[in-house]
Amino acid sequence: MSQKAFNSHISANAGRSMMQIFGSEWFGIPISTLALSQVYILIFELYHNLIFRYIGETLTFAAIILFAFIFAMWVIRGITSKDGKKESSHWDNLTRLSFISLIPIMGFVGNSQLLFFFGINVVSAAISEVDFYVFYGLSLILGVLLGYRLYTKEIAPREINYAIVIPPLAIGTSVFLSQSLIQYYGGVTGQFMSFLVVMGLGIFFFLYIFIGSLALSGHVSTKMHEALPTTMLPVGIASLIVLNLFAISGFNSMGDLSLTISQVGLLSVMLWGFEVWNFLVVLIIMLVRPSKGNLSVWAYGFPLGLFATSTLKIMSTFNFGWLLWVFLMISALLNILWIYGWINTALFVRLSRKRLRQPSHA
């Protein structure tokens, strides 16, 4: 074989090998970008400065484009993969199976942001309604599959980390899209969506107690450094519970099943206190044990976006004006971590390419 043909062969094999790095964990990039967009939407609603709206809109479209690209690469990888390694299989690896649930989260949050920027009408409402049911069903299916694998699979210790709480969390994010649709449709459709949101809250709250305890035990026992950023996810869980409680308190279609705002206020402040505790713990971890060249750092983004949203919701509902400074601090940190995520992604790709080249030099 000529040198030119040999080099072409090596390049082709390296290209196919590079496809293997596109696992479901890459979906954290567009999700974190949506979280950053959400923060700028909230700032725009606070100060009504169009610059913040334009930044938020740009980030939303950037997240959608990134998601489309990563999803395409992920699908191609799944079709062309022939290595058969269990650690790279999404069915045999609980972490990668769990990260697939970022797809419905992307659908719920991304759709709701598009409705914010472009408004709701007959066409957008109809498309969004279909999206709601599709992504809700996908969230439920992925949660059931995770439960099945937890009960039946021989699990490696490294698989037990907070990434496995993402499937329960996904169904709770339906609240982002449901509120606009419930207000638009009302009637039987609004009542049915309200029922699904309350049902989803029950699913992800109780599964978090069960699966979250398992994840905490896994972290404490294995001390796996690359999974440390996922410890931010409980902040997102508590924040999402707060947002669901506020939404349910406004569901007129639920009748006597609805919560009063005073009940929501008491529960939300208690949950917010847990968010603060967990956030401070993870902040210390970030400073003392920073991650390098690891895609798991994107796990910081979405929970912080939820934390910022719940903080502002409590502030505006109960006139706790001092919480504005907490919100701005979280927003600033999210911007920093978004840049930090891209730095780690570039380093991860570079290290992956270096590892793939090593056999060819041997």
DSSP per-residue letters across 199-251: HHHHHHHHHHHHHHHHHHHHHHHH--GGGGGGGGHHHHHHHHHHHHHHHHHT-
- 8 found inside a domain: no
Structure tokens at 165: 């709480």
* Residue-level pLDDT at 128: 96
Kindly state whether residue 362 falls inside one of the protein's structural domains: no
Q: Answer yes or no: is 308 within a domain.
A: yes
pTM of the full predicted structure?
0.88
Residue 11 confidence (pLDDT)? 43
| pLDDT confidence of residue 14 | 45
- The CATH code of the domain that includes 249 is 1.50.10.150
**Residue range of the domain that includes 293:** 18-353
Q: Is the dihedral of CA 184, 192, 268, 216 positive or negative?
A: negative
Residue 142 inside a domain? The answer is: yes
For residue 17 the two structure tokens come to 């090998």
302: nearest Cα among 22, 9, 37, 11: 37
| Residue 358 belongs to a domain | no
Total tally of structural domains belonging to the chain: 1
User: Which DSSP category does 23 fall into?
Assistant: -
- pLDDT confidence of residue 88: 53
Mean pLDDT of 325-347: 94
pLDDT at residue 91 in the model = 74
Considering the domain boundaries, does residue 7 fall inside one? no
DSSP letter at 322?
Answer: T
What is the reported pLDDT for 70?
A: 93
If pLDDT is split at 50, 70 and 90, which confidence band does 79 have? confident
Phi, psi (degrees; rounded to nearest 5) at 8: -65, -40
In this predicted structure, the answer to whether residue 96 has a pLDDT above a threshold of 90 is: no
Mean pLDDT, rounded, for 182-187: 90
**Cβ contact 156:92 at 8 Å:** no
pLDDT digits (tens, 9 = 90+) for 27-41: 999 999 999 999 999
Whether residue 143 is contained in a domain is answered as yes
Long-range contacts of 91-94 (CB under 8 A, 24+ apart): 91/149, 92/153, 93/159, 94/146, 94/149, 94/150, 94/153, 94/155, 94/159, 94/160, 94/163, 94/164
- What is the distance between the alpha carbons of residues 67 and 59, in angstroms, rounded to a whole number? 12
Give pLDDT tens digits for 244-297: 999 888 876 666 667 788 888 889 999 999 999 999 999 998 888 888 878 889
pLDDT given for residue 251 in this prediction: 77
pLDDT at 7 over 70: no
Helix 122-152 to helix 187-222 angle (10° resolution) is: 40
What are the tens digits of pLDDT across the range 168-179? 889 999 999 999
Q: What was the pLDDT predicted at 359?
A: 53
In the 8-state DSSP scheme, what is residue 319?
T
Rounded-to-10 torsion of CA 39, 44, 47, 48: 180
The answer as to whether 6 is a domain residue is no
Q: How confident is the model at residue 291, as a pLDDT?
A: 83
